[in-house]
Structure 1
Amino acid sequence: MAKGRSFTRQALRDWGWDRTETSEDAVLLVSELLTNASLHANGCRELVLNANATTLRIEVHDGTTTLPVRRPAPQRGMPGGRGLYIVEHLSDGWGAQTYGTGKAVWAEIEASRLKREVTAEN
């Protein structure tokens, strides 16, 4: 998961989308999706980040076709059950799609949330 977070931070730097609160949200989304793949889907096969003028899309591909199910709400005092809740709340949209012998779980963030505000100090 550390490699996935590092890869994401570097990509956000390369795109000029670093040093914002939302860029840290993107790193947390990657971490949560990778953790879920590790815990529930025999690990991540591939982490894909796609960016365009309007959207950052994060995809974690794994080796099972079982789609994720978000619990209604995390239960206090009980471990687990917060990953997809976090994904839902930090992203502008998320979902999953099966293919062949696996699936991709994805989350999207609007690019406007990742762009740094230009101030007189910049």
Structure 2
Amino acid sequence: MPGQRRRLALAGVRGQVGKGRDFTRQALRDWGWYGNETAEDTLLVVSELLTNAGLHADGCLELVLTAGDSLRIEVLDGTADLPRRHPSPQRGLPGGHGLYIIERLSDRWGTDPRPPGKVVWAEFESSRLVSGRPARP
């Protein structure tokens, strides 16, 4: 499994968040990293990354998952505009929470320029995916 990479082209695809979650869930199952709370956190981070790309960058062009010492999730979009945290998201109201969720759940996250825009990425240590607590039913 180390070094395995999966790509999902999403340019112009409707329902990017659902397709990205399904793609990620299958990869986690195939890699033996599914069925614990960290896997559920991973799916939430994928949802947030894809939602942010849809709301702020005209959608995701590609979702890339790389398995190694960590699981790296990359979302390529078509704008160079860097993500910014909302200065004061309102509790109980939608919007402005995505980057806080990504930061809180993942081990690391960041951005890299990549033509035609940028990659927003997040990483989870593989040890968390292997030994995480079982997911709640």
Give the aligned partner of residue 135 of structure 2. Answer: none
User: Residues 77 and 9 from structure 1, CA distance in 2 versus in 1: closer, same or farther, beyond 3 angstroms?
Assistant: closer
Deviations for 1:22-44, whole angstroms, at most 9, x for unmatched residues?
00000111000000000000000
Aligned residues: 116
The whole-number CA distance in structure 1 between the counterparts of 2:88 and 2:72 is 25
Q: TM-score, normalised by structure 2?
A: 0.80
Unaligned runs of 5+ in 2: 1-16, 133-137
User: For residues 24-63 of structure 1, what are the structure 2 equivalents within 5 Å?
Assistant: 24-52=40-68, 54-63=69-78
Alpha-carbon distance in structure 1 between the residues aligned to 2:67 and 2:86 = 29
RMSD: 1.3
Tell me which of 113, 118, 123 is aligned to 1:108.
Answer: 123
- Residues 72-117 of structure 1, C-alpha deviations (whole Å, 9 max, x = no match): 4522254310000100000000001112221000000000000047
The 3-state SS of whatever aligns with 1:115 is helix
Cα distance, 1:76–1:60 mapped onto 2, change above 3 Å: same
Q: Which runs of 4+ in 1 moved over 6 A?
A: none
Give distance in 1, aligned partners of 2:109 and 2:130: 20
Matched, 1:21 2:51: no
